[in-house]
Structure 1
Amino acid sequence: MCIVPLVLYAVIFQGGALATRSYMDEASLQASSALRLAVSALSGHLSRYEPLPALISDHDGIEDLIVHPDDQSLRDAANIYLKDINNLLESSDIYVMTLDGNTIAASNYDQPASFVGENFSYRPYFQEAARGNQSRFYALGTTSLKRGYYFASPITVGDRIRGVIVFKVDIDSIETSWRGGEYKIFVSDPEGIIFMTGSPEWLYSGILPLNRERLQKTHASRRYAEAVLKPLPIVRNTLDDHELMTINTADSREYLVLSHYMPEADWTVNVLMDTASVRSQARTMIVAVVLFLCLAGLALAIFLQRRARLAERMRMQIEARAELEHRVEERTADLALVNRRIEEEIAERRLTEQELRKTQADLIQAGKLAGLGQMSAALSHELNQPLAAAKTYADSAAMLIDLERVPEARDNVRRISGLIDRMASISRHLRNFARKPNEKLGPVALDAVIADTLEIVSARLKTADADLEIDLGGKAGLVGAGLVKAGSVRLQQVLVNIITNAADAIEGLADRRIHLSTEYHGEKIILTIRDHGPGVPAAITDRIFDPFFTTKGVGKGLGLGLSISYNIVKDFGGSLSVTNHPEGGAMFRIELEAANATAREAAE
């Protein structure tokens, strides 16, 4: 019974600490989201105004005024222009100063708190811009007594800096959005003084000690004009990696603090989340755990009470187990019979799989023959051209021999021999392509496969007036560069199918280019074939590799080419996919495993 107080102590104190940490971590994640939103809102609000001073300074009227600052007509025109721009952009103020800091034109020239005639040379933003740099600064206006964020830019005429233009942005709208929310949000400067806050009572309060050095820096720039700076009574603490802050005011509260420094603005955005709800949740959880332990103790008492009954049940279970073992023996015999039947079915499935593979090979062969049929007209033309030329050369050779011009006749015979070699090359590649492959997978050189493919598709490309651009992208020194794990003839069939489809897609278009390129990604080599045709409609992207699916007209395709190609690449252990290029046209992507050079030498 002495264990019970120890368990309760561990649950209440240790469990309470763990629960508080857990809920504090969750609260920190929520507060970090609020912090990111606040930072994004501030950055977005300020960044859209940053380039404006430099743009306004390029206005002819502003440049003329800064060159002739005493010209009253130029001042009047600049005042009206700045006021119109200020109303259009909904900014706070825009004003122009000479290099001595005197303001000669302002958007509020007709207001009681006009900046015209005021000197702001003490402001850091003026000093930085006068040196030729874009500058930022946030402060309480000494004339308008309104807070704002200042963007300053030098006014350059020719190659000389002649003045400074300042753009003041109102930040009250952002501050208003922070009020009444779940989180307390405020912005502090490097000296720890709160410049923006959703809690007006914290404005111009210091979260760092207001020592002499900090006050001197603040007064030197007159950042807060004549505002009274006061310390905010806070006590800092930590819980694991979480920063806590207790503000000792009339309504003293503890907050979880998350901060983010914005270097471009030189201030820190702070988000405070009241920890009262976190600690309340932890207490609720501890109460729930204690109640659970009480219920567990009650369940234990019931368990002990029923223990005697369990002994009797155990005896009954032993008898039932004996009966079960007898039934298991009977069922084991049945399972042995079922296993034999399953083995027979497996043998049948293997036989069926072999037949399917044979059918697939036949289908691949049919697809190649169908492709050859579609290319027959172009190939006939490709063979007829050298035949006609050979006939012409033969006739002219006979005439040259009759005229005893033997050297010229010999040249004709040499040309006839070259034409015969060309026809033999075309015939050899067609014969190899049409042969039913029974090859094993191994290292295959991409350049050789592509060269053989060109021999077959050149006639189709010529018919379509298409231009095939090849970029093998070889990388010397890489293991297996240019070698893929595949079958030479079947890989050639895949390339013939895709390039032929590309030629069909671009025939008759203005841009008839086809790009074939390779990329190397570690152990993978990727071939990309891209055309400049109409692309693949999104509605058929998922069906384009299905058997007998085709977008061509009746009699122009069986719908087997891409399906066969897909299965060939899959057999290689790779993948075939299609997307539309952002600039137009379809883009087929063949991903294959790279094969190392050692494997190629062994295969040879």
Structure 2
Amino acid sequence: MIASSIFYFSLLISSSNDNAADAKIYEQSLTASINQFEYLPALLASDTLFINALLYSSNNHLLTNKKLTFIAERAGADVVYIMNISGTVVASSNYLSKNSFLNNNYAFRPYFQDAIKQRKRQFYYAKGATTGIPGFFISEPIIYNDQTIGVAVVKLNMTYWEDNWRNTENTVITADNNDVIILSSIDQWRYRTIGELSEETLNRISQLQQFGNKEHKSLYTKTYTAQLYRLLNLTFWKIDNELYLSQHSSIPEINWSLYYLVKNQKFLYPTFIFFIITNVFFIFTYLIRRERKHRIASINKNQRLELIRQEELKTVMDNIHVGVTLFTETGQLVSINDHAKYLLFQGHSPHPKNVIHINDIISIEADQFDKLLLNDISSATYHEAYALNNGEKTTPIMFALSKVNAMDTELYLMTFINIKRRKAAEDELVNINNSLEDTIAMRTQELQQAQATLIQKNKAAALGNMAATIVHELSQPLSAINSSASAVSAKINNQDWNGAKESANRLNPLSKKMHNVINLLKHFSYQDNESQQKTALMATIHNALNSVSDIMHEKNIHLDDSGINQANSNDIIYVETNPLKLDLVISNIIKNAMDAAEKSDKAKITVAVETNAQKAYVHISDNGGGIDPKIMSKLFSPYFTTKEVGKGLGLGLSISYEIIQEYNGNISAKNMDGGMCFTIQLPCYIESQLPSNRPS
């Protein structure tokens, strides 16, 4: 009982000290919360807009009300309002509310009267006369030319602090200067008093309508005081038949008092538990001492059994054909079986006085060994290393690690086997693979050389075949030259010079065309190293079309080149090619289109150009009926032709395809609109130029 009494009073002393600190914290928190709004009334009192609202009361104060609403919302105040010298509210932040303070007279409130008389800031708590909502009022006199013309007031809703106090384990209350409880974590205690109030005080509160019609009864019925060691006074309040330890703290700035209350039950229950525990402790002490004797005897027995088990395990380890070692977390060798001795020490046992580390017998670095121990070794993971003999690598081994408990000590078990034969087989397999790779590389090089030789032989054979029809390949430009020359001669005889210059100008490109055919044969017969250069794509197409314009006129073939004569002529399309080769490709495809189109009653060739994503597309189409889709895949194969015997070798498209591929491009063909369409695709870039001034 004495120990329990001492324990009870020690709890009271400890709680009293803690309660004093907690009460101080609540007091500082409340003061800080009020202080953050203390500046606001003074700010309002110095605002010109609000001073003018009092000086010119007949004016419309809508702007003043809106500004007060904005200030209340931003500051977090409940209501902000301005009162004139007679106590009437002339502007208020709640002017739109049905409980608006606007035009109400609160001259009876002390916060107004004292602000007018004393000309300084006032603090006051009361229940709202209009809304019935209690609040904390901070008022500031508005002074103009040294005359008090009104009062600025900020009303704060104090329920925020009460809501926070309800979440605490103990009870917190605050009383005003009349000892009336205005804030409480227990709602039923609000407006009760700290002790009985005098009739004079009650009458004054009633006249000021501070708390409406609330009845003010004392919170406690009795108080008790206990003095301990002449240093500490403990005060108890009896409230609703329950005893509370009370701790008081003053708030001098606003003349309030804060009380921190803790139920006495909080101390009685631990004291009762302490009483039970101390009695149980003495009972169990005897039982534990008796049990300890039995436990020590059991431990000794288990240790003897563990020694027997270790001996049996060592016997098993020595008789298996797998190396087994035990070592500590630091790598110090603890135990080793016979097979491990054979692999690691050539059958000799290590000297018992020597401290052997795992790094001394296996080729594994210390940091690598630590990483292995840190990894999850609950499942078998195999690693390779070499056995060491005086630091020299001898036998290759494969090992696995696992944790074991021996004599209540955590050790690591390493099992390993000799993999010398397997390593030899692996080395032999690597040598075979290396030899096979060398053989494959050599055979591949020989095949590439043979393929290159075969290609050149095929080209040489193609020259032999070309020789038989070279006259036909040159007959087209010769025919065009003859046609242009005849046209010039006829115009001379008829003295008709209209168009004579154009026909004569076509002779030079046609002779170049014959030269191009010869160069085409040269390109196909052997490799050349002609350099690429910046080539204007549209100019090349126009040159190719001009060279065959007379022939197209003679054969009555209509040319639609609107797709290359667009309105936007400021952009020049360039490709990186050999101009001669590109001209050969375009001329060859145009020639094939002419041969196909002349079969039609209304022969027509269409040429168009488009660009997209840094690529140029040249479309050349005819209305010659197209070709069988079954042979479409052979179209670009050497010696394949759909023309009559003697009209072509079947090499034009093959050579064209090879040239365009050389410039990272592509040629494709498809049937469309009763004919064929060939598309040449090449990488390009576009440059813009200012339009030239042409004479009208």
TM-score class normalised by the smaller sequence:
0.3 to 0.5
Q: What's the TM-score once normalised by structure 1's chain length? A: 0.44
Q: What's the TM-score once normalised by structure 2's chain length? A: 0.39
* Structure number with higher strand proportion: 2
Q: Larger Rg: 1 or 2?
A: 2
